[in-house]
Amino acid sequence: MEPEKLSIKEMHSGLVGKDFSAEELARFFLDKIRKEDGEIKAFITVTEDLALAQAKKADEIIAKGGDIPMLAGIPCAIKDNIFIEGVKCTSASKMLENYVAPYDATVVKKLKEQGAVILGKTNLDEFAMGSSTENSAFFVTKNPRDTSRVPGGSSGGSAAATAAGFCKFALGSDTGGSIRQPASFCGVVGLKPTYGAVSRYGVMAFASSLDQIGPFAKDAADCQTVFDAIKGRDPLDSTSLDSPEQKERLDIKGLRIGIPKEYFVKGMDKEVERTIREAIGKYEKMGAKIVEVSLPHTEYALPCYYIIATAEASANLARYDGIKYGSSEFNNPEVNGLLDVYVKSREKYFGSEVKRRIMLGTYVLSSGYYDAYYKRAQKVRTLIKNDFEKALSQADVLLTPVSPTLPFKIGEKMDDPLSMYLSDIYTISINLAGVGAISMPAGWEGDLPVGMQIIGKPFEEDKMFQAAMAFEEKK
């Protein structure tokens, strides 16, 4: 038996058919993590006792028979900025190195209700700020496809854990591409849902108007299974909504796939462009209708995003001051007064990328600059949203690259923040527009995956999944 190669549906059938137990599965994956994660470093915390207790409970549920949830006994991992009651939640920051979550995030509560088995918390860029998982305060996660390369970020630990077969699925957060870009780099499927489709309650906020929680899995069907389990309105998150049910089966023949002309420009790796164009050709052979569309404000997305995201981060991270939350220099004998506690605590325990974004965000919100930067960025955001509405009125879904490059080497871009920020150039517009997008492997260049992005209208995740599954079946 090779459990890491089974789909969720196959694993569910095996559990229900008593081919193996949830406890046996949990021990298999925990042992695999113990043996192999020393090199990959996907996990910050492994929750062995919790996993075995949940597996035992899942076995009891399965033994009773009846209507057994699809995720009962299925091993998973959770990004370490999502609360699990009684488990450390560090957001990969020294500021929260010893912080223990006081309650479950809504997505975790839903997984527990399904009987899922949580193996541990995965590494990320500190406070989800980064595109390579090199900004973690603890260690760098490596890409299982090539350990000299980054897994992407900020949800690199969840993507790497899924790709390495350490879990059947994982949860991540996506503020500007933090699920889709690492999914692309690690050769797995990752969904950034429509804004509001999944509750953010119990998730450490980076930029509240952009953040969304979504799943990683080996294929689109597994990804959809997890999404169906965690989606829906939550009274604890006023921005959340119920997704309308879509029962109709998508017919690829005649499906209008929009290709934004602005996404195929100078600067893209030739290997990436070739693979994406081959994927477009495959859809065309399946009977899809390829139409060119325009997203004319794409060039403004990057500066617009980094103004809005940093402004919101500046406000959200103000709570980590050494008094209300976080590691503190309060007892440092060199501290002189309350202001000094704030300054020295934040100076010592925040990493350089977090400091950079807080400073930028505070600047654009400051008196005299608010109108010139933040207010103008919000107006541009509206134009970007309008671009997507128009493009998606001319096509059923859009197809684009996820990243302009193949996974880059560890350390390659750490001294060039702007180059790192450009890694998200194809993903950030989706968060600004609030629509959903799924990243999946379009093909491979040697051992390295190339990801493509399928973008849909708000709350039409089912259509995106069906388009993705049709491509997987023809590969």
Pick from 428, 424, 443: nearest CA to 276: 443
Alpha carbon distance 392, 456 (integer Å): 7
Residue with tokens 């075995």: 52
CB 198 within 8 A of CB 439: no
Q: Which of 79, 218, 231, 413 is catalytic?
A: 79
Catalytic residue among 132, 178, 314, 403: 178
**439: annotated active-site residue:** no
- Residue 475 token pair: 């590969």
Q: Are strands 397-401 and 256-260 parallel, antiparallel or unpaired?
A: parallel
Q: Which residue reads 């192999």 in tokens?
A: 36
Residue tagged 């008196």 (tokens): 367
Question: What contacts 313, CB < 8 A, 6 or more positions away?
Answer: 127, 129, 206, 207, 357, 358, 361
Q: Judge residue 286's burial from the number of C-beta atoms within 10 Å of its C-beta, 0-12 exposed, 13-18 middle, 19 or more buried.
A: middle
Interatomic CA distance for residues 185 and 106, integer angstroms: 28
Residue 281's CB is within 10 A of a number of other CB atoms, namely 11
**Please, are residues 144 and 186 in contact by the beta-carbon 8 Å criterion?**
yes
Q: Which CA distances in Å does 327 have to 110, 324, 342, 344, 423?
A: 30, 10, 11, 10, 31
Where helices occur in 152-269 by DSSP H, the ranges are: 156-163, 180-186, 220-230
Contacts of 396 (CB under 8 A, 6+ apart): 255, 256, 257, 258, 456, 463
Structure tokens at 309: 């995201």
User: pTM for the full model?
Assistant: 0.96
What is the fold, at CATH topology level, of the domain defined by 3-230? Answer: Amidase signature (AS) enzymes (3.90.1300)
CA distances from 204 to 175, 248, 361, 373 (A): 12, 36, 17, 25
For the chain, the farthest-separated pair of C-alpha atoms sits apart, in whole angstroms, at 72
Q: How far apart are CA 391 and CA 293, in angstroms?
A: 6
Q: Does the active-site annotation cover 154?
A: yes
Cα 119 to Cα 113: distance, rounded to the nearest angstrom: 16
Listed in order, strand segments (DSSP E) in 311-435 are 397-401
Say how far apart CA 161 and CA 45 lie, in whole Å.
Answer: 12
Q: What DSSP line would sit under 105-131, residue for residue?
A: -HHHHHHHHHT-EEEEEE--SGGG--S
Half-sphere exposure of 429 (CA within 13 A, CB side): 29
178 is catalytic: yes
Instruction: State the DSSP H helix or E strand holding residue 358, giving kind and residue range, or none if neither.
Output: helix 352-365
Digit-by-digit pLDDT tens for the chain (475 residues) are 689 999 999 999 999 999 999 999 999 999 999 999 999 999 999 999 999 999 999 999 999 988 999 999 999 999 999 999 999 999 999 999 999 999 999 999 999 999 999 999 999 999 999 999 999 999 999 999 999 999 999 999 999 999 999 999 999 999 999 999 999 999 999 999 999 999 999 999 999 999 999 999 999 999 999 999 999 999 999 999 998 877 677 889 999 999 999 998 777 899 999 999 999 999 999 999 999 999 999 999 999 999 999 999 999 999 999 998 899 999 999 899 999 999 999 999 999 999 999 999 999 999 889 999 999 999 999 999 999 999 999 999 999 999 999 999 999 998 888 788 888 999 999 999 999 999 999 999 999 999 999 999 999 999 999 999 999 998 6
Of the residues 93, 154, 328, 439, only one is catalytic, namely: 154
**pLDDT at residue 6, rounded to an integer:** 96
Residue 247's pLDDT is 63
For residues 473 and 469, give the distance between their C-alpha atoms in angstroms, rounded to a whole number: 6
The residue ranges of every structural domain in the chain are 3-230
d(CA 370, CA 366): 6
